[in-house]
Amino acid sequence: MTGLQVVLLVVVVVIGLGVLAALLVSLKIMRRLHTTAAAPAQPVAEDPAFLAEKDRQEHSLASLRTAAEDATAAVDEARAVAAAARTEAAAAKAEASSARSEARRILDAARAEADSLLERAHRQAEVDAEQARAAARRAGEREVSQLTTVAKEQSQDAERRQRRLDERERLLAEEAERLAERDRRITSTEADLLEREAAFTRREVEIAAGEERHREELERVAGLTTDAARVEVIETIEAQAKREAALLVRDIENDARNTADQRARHIVVDAIQRVASEQTAESVVSVLHLPSDEMKGRIIGREGRNIRAFESTTGVNLIIDDTPEAVLLSCFDPVRREIGRLTLEKLVLDGRIHPHRIEEVFEQAKHEVERLCLRAAEDALVEVGITDLHPELMTLLGRLRYRTSYGQNVLKHLVETAHIAGIMASELRLDPKLIKRSAFLHDIGKALTHEVEGSHALIGADVARKYGESEDVVHAIEAHHNEVLPQTIEAVLTQASDACSGGRPGARRESLEAYVKRLERIEEIAAGKSGVEKVFAMQAGREIRVMVRPDDVDDIGAAVLARDVAKQIEEELTYPGQIRVTVVRESRVTEIAR
């Protein structure tokens, strides 16, 4: 039975029950009315309760009739619905019958297909099972073989270990027997030693007693005690040794006085003769050759702006005269003069000469001179034979390529001094490496005298100590001008070789050194003023140009600065003629077009 049929059946049952209840109620009311009608009649008008009850019953009867009619209509409708439901149920039964037949057919086909699939699956399962059994059989055989091999190896390993354990047990047993035997021997030896020690003790006591008797007998025979005899012997030996030492010292002093002076002269002359050092006179002027005289006009520039820019940038005085195809560069500082010469040479080769280009080429020339200084230091080290030198000391040595001392090039002076010191050390059968190193570095402080105040010997000693030189080398540096008394042979030979290099004929000139010092002092006076950026001494010291920062010094301050510098130069220095002080205050504004 379908769900629709169940619903219709329930609805019909409910309607039937409703109709039955309505009929029962109607029958009950009709019975009550009939009983009331059979009772004795009474005046209606006289009993209001009766009238009310009658009206109520009539209304109830009317409602019951209406309910009965509605129930009848509902029954008819339910019957119609039941008929329609029965029709639909019949149609549903027909569809269900056809569906069941179709389902049976599909089920039969599915069963047949399932049987065939099941049969094929059984056959495939049997094939797979056979293959799996074969594979499992082969795997089992391999596993059994491997297990057998492993078991054999483990058995062999166990046998080897057992043999080793047996051998070790045997060795331990033998070792235990040896230790027991050794203990027995040690015990017996200790007993023997105790007996010997007791015998030695008794013997020492007897010997001490015999020595005491012998000493007493000697004192009795000699009439002196042991201490008095010892003092007398020592005094005799001391007097004899002093006499022999005095004779030896006298002979040595006589021999030294006879041969020292001659030997020293021989060593110094031989060292100087074996060092063939060239001497180049230092100059304050460099000559640059030009490709043509037309280049002079380009160097001067419009209204002299190029030559002014060159002199203010490099600090070198450029002299252009009637000399054909040549210009002169004058400056007391050789490093600055070399940078200016390279700058002008590059500008002439390039052909582009203007203030901005001059500044660019000046920086390039400055770096090139630094490289040349480093190369000069390396060449000097190779010539002397020193390899393990700190890089900072090499940089300071490179600066000495352009430094002079009384007209003598300082770097060449160091090389010459090192050679002389090495020859002296060889003649005296000393270690030449340490002495050559001391002599080569003795003037290293001159590279910093314009930066650090004090004697160049003490400055050089501090620098050498800072960069890891030995104390012997440091002492030789600080003692070569007697700021510190020389205490070692290295310091004495450094002094001697320095005097030989600087004192030989033609090595130094006093006038050039004094001239350079005067120009350096002129620049120091101007550079010490507030607001000064650069200072250049030019025209052989007859003119000094002071470049000031325009933000710090105004026009009135520039005039005051020029007067103060001139007054201080007049008070501190002595010089021929007059010195012109020029203060340059220049402002520049630069913009870049993009």
Residues 300-336 have pLDDT tens digits of 888 888 888 888 888 888 888 777 778 888 877 777 8
Q: How far apart are CA 222 and CA 226, in angstroms?
A: 10
pLDDT for 496 equals 83
Which has more confidence, 182 or 14? Answer: 182
Residue 543 is classified by DSSP as E
| Mean pLDDT of the 138-152 span | 87
- Burial code (b: 16+ CB inside 10 Å, e: under 16) for 123-155 equals eeeeeeeeeeeeeeeeeeeeeeeeeeeeeeeee
- Among 5, 186, 155, smallest CA distance to 92 is for 5
pLDDT for 1 equals 55
Provide the 3-class DSSP secondary structure of residue 508: coil
Q: Which two tokens stand for residue 373?
A: 């200084």
The most confident of 315-324, 424-433, 510-519, 564-573, by mean pLDDT:
564-573
The DSSP-derived string for 516-539 is HHHHHHHHHHHHTSTTEEEEEEET
- Which H or E element spans position 412? helix 410-427
For residue 449, the cross-strand partners are: none
Model pLDDT for residues 322-372, shown as the tens digit of each residue: 777 788 888 777 778 888 888 988 888 888 888 888 889 999 988 888 888
- Residue 244 identity (one-letter amino acid): E
Judge whether residue 468 has pLDDT over 70: yes
Model pLDDT for residues 29-84, shown as the tens digit of each residue: 766 665 655 544 444 444 677 777 777 777 777 777 777 677 677 767 767 776 77
CA dihedral 27, 29, 35, 36 (to 10 degrees): -160
Which has more confidence, 44 or 186? Answer: 186
pLDDT for 512 equals 59
Q: How far apart are CA 255 and CA 21, in angstroms?
A: 172
Model pLDDT for residues 398-445, shown as the tens digit of each residue: 878 877 776 677 888 888 888 888 888 887 788 888 888 888 888 888
Give the pLDDT band of residue 532 (cuts 50, 70, 90).
very high
Q: What are the φ and ψ backbone dihedral angles of 534, each rounded to 5 degrees?
A: -140, 150
Which has more confidence, 63 or 390? Answer: 390
Q: How far apart are CA 511 and CA 518, in angstroms?
A: 11
> What is the average pLDDT value for the chain, to the nearest integer?
79
Order across the sheet with 326-330: list the strands.
285-289, 326-330, 317-319
Which has more confidence, 560 or 64? Answer: 560
Window from 231-240, 271-280, 307-316 with minimum mean pLDDT? 271-280
Is residue 491 within 8 A of residue 475, CB to CB? The reply is yes
Judge whether residue 375 has pLDDT over 80: yes
For residue 319, the cross-strand partners are: 328
pLDDT for 548 equals 92
Judge whether residue 519 has pLDDT over 80: yes
Judge whether residue 116 has pLDDT over 70: yes
| Mean pLDDT of the 270-276 span | 53
For residue 330, the cross-strand partners are: 285, 317
Residues above pLDDT 90, as percent of the chain:
3
